[in-house]
Structure 1
Amino acid sequence: MPFQTGMLEKSGKLGTTVGSGLVEYIAPYARMQYYDTAQSRPYDANRGAKWFERMKVAEKREILDGAKKLGG
């Protein structure tokens, strides 16, 4: 996720009810940052749009292991 001032990240925490299963970014520019920017940057392939989708691919094993621990 873009992090210049930290407000986009903070808006995700402020707009989310823990346990709801839904993360909502309430910053007015969040949608544009997520959908309407380049998928990556020439100087860093890990930066760019759709950061949540890319995180799921990169961290798949850790996500599944955590879910397994919680699910029993």
Structure 2
Amino acid sequence: MSIDSEIDITANLQIGPTTSGMVRIFVEAEGGIEIPLDFEPDEAVEIAEEIRAAAEAARAKAGGGKPGGKKKR
């Protein structure tokens, strides 16, 4: 399976700080699967930047351009 493969799994995502000063990404999927992922704050910022870059790339592939811009036809 690759990042571009479609899958038919539903999951919930929660993101927040922990009491120990980490940033937790918590994934809860069908079937009772729970995956807590803890990151140092600097790592979390890098992940956020990667998510933003991926969103911009996906928008460009879909022809959406920048927010507020017109879609290409």
Between structure 1 and structure 2, the one with the greater Rg is 2
Q: Give the structure with the higher percent strand.
A: 2
- Choose between structure 1 and 2 for higher RCO, CA contacts under 8 A separated by at least 6 residues: 1
Same fold (TM over 0.5): no
Using structure 2 for the length normalisation, give the TM-score: 0.29
Q: If each structure's helix is expressed as a fraction of its own residues, which one has the higher value?
A: 1
Alignment TM-score, normalising by the size of structure 1: 0.29
